[in-house]
Amino acid sequence: MSVKIYIPGDSGAVAVGADRLAAKLETELNKRDLDARIIRNGSRGLYWLEPMVEVETKSGRVAYGPVKPSDLDALLDAGLLEGAEHPLSLGLTEEIPFLKRQTRLTFARCGITDPLSLEDYRAQGGLAGLTNAVAMPPEAIVAQVTESGLRGRGGAGFPTGIKWKTVLEADGAQKYIVCNADEGDSGTFADRMIMEGDPFVVIEGMVIAGIATGATKGYVYLRSEYPHAINVMNRAVEIARENNILGTSVLGSPHGFDMEIRVGAGAYVCGEETALLESLEGRRGVVRAKPPLPAHKGFLGRPTVVNNVISLASVPIIMDKGADFYRDFGMGRSRGTIPVQIAGNVKHGGLFEAAFGMTLGELIDDIGGGTATGRPVKAVQVGGPLGAYFPRELFDTPFDYEAFAARDGLIGHAGIVVFDDTADMLKQARFAFEFCAVESCGKCTPCRIGSTRGVEVIDNIRDGIEPDKQVALMSDLCNTMKFGSLCALGGFTPYPVMSAFTHFPDDFRPASMSQAAE
């Protein structure tokens, strides 16, 4: 039997040379007439070790990384196929501390299986949740998801079960499930990883959502910046259709559900659910005023569930293992696990899935290993471009929706971007306004105009033009945007701006003044 060698096809691994490495290994194996097969798996999420090569041995999978094509000769000579020792050896994959410390529920299969092998998917527990769901009345599925405590992982944290219940109870001959795969926040890549590494779990979650709410059609709205994910999801949908996971009779049951992948066109605001629906309908991605809620009038004016990729991908395990199993992880009202994405200037960047409740400091210093540059950590931005910058003094904040809100921050899509002490926080605040100006849909005035005025105000602060007055203006502007904007783009831009100012006031003093102070 041939040896199985795994090299991720994940775009994070490909970006650092996984394709070239796989091609070279294939050539080498042929040249040496070795009986081995290369499988392009998803990533385990240990990005500083990518491209990470794994070999299946009798005692388990053994990892090596990061591997360059030029390392292959020596690796093969040392006995790569037997999992032999080598300077690049990381030992048994499952024993690598970054991985061993995790609780992988949503990402249980990611990096382990061949993403497009339905056999692998089933063998690793896939479809168990859907198999249970097809035999249950919709109300019971909704109840189970509600009891699990699952909240929207896209950022808003709204209880998933309540959203589903609203759609289930809404009148409508046609209902929809829309999967929000417009992950545009810097520092986040969990959606991309799961779509590339375990696409069937997203599909399974969507089918369960359909059965639970009476929706028979689903759409994944996937951003164009993720071409690899688009390819994998499209292929996975075809395979699911060929195997009756999608179609008129889901797993041979009376339930019908089918879905399509739709590609966005490069607009950050389309991650907001109503702008996403407008875009999906073929219009400008302009935010809708709520109410009506999408659950009542969503896609084409019909009852629609809009859920994030990770929310939907978390449903199969809940339907498999039960609401209690899932709810028993976490703290307070933040139940289950959260795939935290540790990124930016960090030594051990990657995906770390664990129960809610770890502190921010634990994630950055302990798990992330501090900065990649080796300098002190100055600030971390949690929750994407609309998330607050936290200083080291707030590193005791536990990962929990309410705990972050209590400190004027947000978990968002659980992305953490680390900055070292060379970061200029005035520049970061300026960028937040600038980004809002570039991406504003233009519907409401505070966001459309406030963002541009915000850039000007910060430039004035930087240039020392009436700084006190400008700071008052900035605070007032942020207040107007926070309470006057229709959606989170304008409404949350004040978080990065004001947190940068509150926690790093020195960076907001004009250059002449800070020099004078020294």
Binding site for another protein (CB under 8 A): 11-12, 14-16, 47-48, 50, 183-189, 191-193, 224-228, 260, 262-268, 279-285, 299-300, 341-346, 349-351, 372, 381, 385, 415, 417-420, 423, 428, 431, 435, 438-439, 441
Write out the H or E segment, with its range, that includes residue 438. helix 425-439
Q: How far is the CB of 303 from another protein (least distance, A)?
A: 15
Q: Which residues contact 155 (CB under 8 A, 6 or more apart)?
A: 185, 308, 383, 384, 410, 411, 412, 413, 488
Query: Smallest gap, in angstroms, from Cβ of residue 383 to another protein?
Result: 11
Q: Which two tokens stand for residue 477?
A: 């502007």
User: Whole-angstrom Cα distance, residue 441 to residue 279?
Assistant: 11
For residue 49, count CB atoms less than 10 angstroms from its CB and return exposed for 0-12, middle for 13-18, buried for 19 or more. buried
For residue 178, what is the enclosing H or E element? Answer: strand 176-181
Are 270 and 221 in contact, with CB atoms under 8 Å apart?
A: yes
CA–CA separation, 271 and 488 (whole Å): 10
- State whether residue 330 is helix, strand or coil: strand
Query: Burial of 312 by CB count in 10 Å (0-12 exposed, 13-18 middle, 19+ buried)?
Result: buried
Q: Nearest approach, Cβ of 152 to another protein (angstroms)?
A: 19
Whichever of 145 and 416 has its CB closer to another protein, that residue is: 416
Shortest spacing between CB 269 and another protein, in angstroms? 10
The nearest distance, CB 25 to another protein, in angstroms, is 19
Query: How many whole angstroms from its chain centre is CA 387?
Result: 14
Task: Choose between 373 and 452: whose C-beta lies nearer to another protein.
Answer: 373
Question: Residue 200 or residue 419: which is nearer to another protein going by CB?
Answer: 419
Q: Work out the angle at residue 221's Cα, subtended by the Cα atoms of residues 220 and 222, and round it to the nearest 5 degrees.
A: 100
Which of 149/294 has CB closer to another protein? 294
Least Å from the CB of residue 286 to another protein: 8
Q: Which is nearer to another protein, 150 or 215 (CB)?
A: 215
Closest approach of another protein to the CB of residue 229, in Å: 8
Cβ 112 to another protein shortest distance, Å: 19
Q: Which is nearer to another protein, 349 or 361 (CB)?
A: 349
Backbone angles phi, psi at 176, to 5 degrees: -130, 150
Question: 328 vs 366, which CB is nearer to another protein?
Answer: 366
Rounded Cα–Cα distance for residues 425 and 427 (Å): 5
- What b/e sequence results for 432-458 when a residue is b if at least 16 CB atoms lie within 10 Å of its CB, and e otherwise? bbbbbbebbbebbebbbbbbbbbbebb
Q: Which is nearer to another protein, 14 or 477 (CB)?
A: 14
